[in-house]
Amino acid sequence: MHGLIYCAQNLINKKIYIGQTIKTLEERKTSHKQQAVSRINGYFARAIRKHSFDKFDWSILTEEDTQDKLDEAEKYWIKTLETMNPKYGYNLRSGGGVGMVFSLDIIKKLKKYKRTKEHINKFRIARMGHSVSKETREKISIGNKGKPSPMKGKIFSEEHRKKLSLSHIGIPSVMKGKHHTETSKINMSLAKIGKKASMETKQKMSLARKGIKMSKEFCEKSSINSKERWANPETREKMSIGMKKAWIKRKIGFVSPMKGKYHSEESKKKMSIALIGKIPWNKGKKTGSQSEDTIRKKRMAMKKQWADPEIKERRIKTMIGRKRTKESIEKFRKKRMGHSVSEETRKKISIGNKGKPSSMKGKIHSEESKRKMSLSHIGLPVGMTGKHHTEETKQRMRLAKIGKTLSKVG
């Protein structure tokens, strides 16, 4: 035997309660009695408290060997004896473990009942200031772990979405006029660290935002907020650090999200129109007219980066196999044409290279490399064509040759 269907009849008004149990009838009777004594607010429990437990007659209607048969039997007896009708019984559900299936009488009462604004306000005031303890939160968290969301795999239909949208029209957001505390902001920030949206999610977000145009009022507010943020020195410092990190990432092999993409003609026109009448940030500024302090800071920053073996290795890897196009070389050549390095710069380069071995020391060009270099110089004028060494240069070259000869003899 798997379980049984029992009947509890009130000897005063002849009303019946039908139930099922996989325990013995005596155990189930004890359970009902305890529920009535502990002031559980159920329909049948209230009836037991009102008339007393002794005024009910208990009997077994049938026994079944499976849960399915037990459920069907409970439904059958509730329907047959009409125990969902308040005139004849105490059952509030149709039985069979189907959950809250109310009687027609109760459904009518529930339809009439509607919370008023006054009722909602009272409930809100009663709950105001109430916070769940950490212990309770932990218990709830443990209880919910491993359980999938009740909405997992479900998708709202278009009709349902429209209904939800219409039901919220005119209702202000729960966060209207409120602001997150600094602690709340930090907690939200920490919760999102390491989380990355999948490409599918990104595409959905992109499609959802397409065609949405920001109002002028919204754009003005955003502009004001941005200006206020930039006016704060702390914010500027944070953004500066973030931009530096992004720059380093980009330099060590970070692929730009715009790589391989092109703006459409429509997009270009929109950007062009948006910039009409705006003064460029670099208007009146000259490229290269940086202060000595700025140049020094940049130089120090670059030295620090190159001193890091990891960054150095990444940068070298990104450069391996890269080849400049002929177009790029030609542009660079034209740009440098006529440019001459100052005496001061030459001295600095000379001092910096002193004691350093040549990058070609101990290396020999292959025959193929020699042939390529020879072909690449065909038609090009020799670097010293039309030029003459100064007397000082001739003297240096002469001394250098003498030094080499002596070293060979020695």
**pLDDT value at position 168?**
86
Looking at per-residue pLDDT, the higher value among 60 and 251 belongs to 60
Q: In the sheet where 3-10 sits, what is the strand order? A: 16-21, 3-10, 56-64
pTM of the model: 0.30
Range from 36-45, 99-108, 173-182, 383-392 carrying the lowest mean pLDDT: 99-108
**pLDDT value at position 167?**
86
State the residue for tokens 């999938």. Answer: 148
Distance CA(16)–CA(57), nearest Å, equals 9
**pLDDT value at position 383?**
63
Phi-psi region of 338 (alpha: psi -120 to 50; beta: other; left: phi over 0): left
Q: Structural domain boundaries of the chain?
A: 3-102
pLDDT band for 57, please (50, 70, 90 cuts). Answer: very high
Q: How many helices (H) and strands (E) does the chain have?
A: 18, 3
Mean pLDDT of 64-73: 89
pLDDT digits (tens, 9 = 90+) for 74-105: 999 999 999 999 999 999 888 886 555 566 77
**pLDDT value at position 5?**
94
Q: Name the residue among 213, 194, 197, 195 with its Cα closest to residue 205.
A: 197
**pLDDT value at position 108?**
76
pLDDT digits (tens, 9 = 90+) for 47-56: 999 999 999 9
For every residue of 133-194, DSSP letters joined together read -HHHHHHHHHHHTTPPPTTTT----HHHHHHHHHHTTTPPPTTTT----HHHHHHHHHHHTT
pLDDT digits (tens, 9 = 90+) for 250-295: 666 666 777 778 888 999 999 999 888 888 877 777 666 677 888 8
pLDDT digits (tens, 9 = 90+) for 313-350: 888 887 887 778 888 888 888 888 878 888 888 888 88
Determine the topology of domain 3-102 in CATH: GIY-YIG endonuclease (3.40.1440)
**pLDDT value at position 20?**
92
Q: Whole-number mean pLDDT of the chain?
A: 84
Q: Name the residue among 257, 259, 242, 249 with its Cα closest to residue 311.
A: 249
Mean pLDDT of 172-193: 87
CB within 8 A of 47, min separation 6: which ones?
10, 15, 17, 90
pLDDT digits (tens, 9 = 90+) for 116-158: 778 888 888 888 878 888 888 888 888 888 888 888 888 889 9
**pLDDT value at position 410?**
58
Residue 196 has pLDDT above 60, yes or no: yes
Per the CB < 8 A criterion, the answer to whether 64 and 8 are in contact is no
Indicate the length of the chain as a whole number: 410
**pLDDT value at position 11?**
94
Phi-psi region of 97 (alpha: psi -120 to 50; beta: other; left: phi over 0): left
Mean pLDDT of 372-394: 77
**pLDDT value at position 302?**
87
For every residue of 257-313, DSSP letters joined together read TTTT----HHHHHHHHHHHTTPPPTTTT--TT---HHHHHHHHHHHHHHHHSHHHHH
Task: Enumerate the β-bridge partners of residue 19.
Answer: 6
Mean pLDDT of 187-193: 87
**pLDDT value at position 381?**
66
- CA 265, 270, 274, 277 dihedral sign is positive
Burial class of residue 78, CB neighbours in 10 A (0-12, 13-18, 19+)? buried
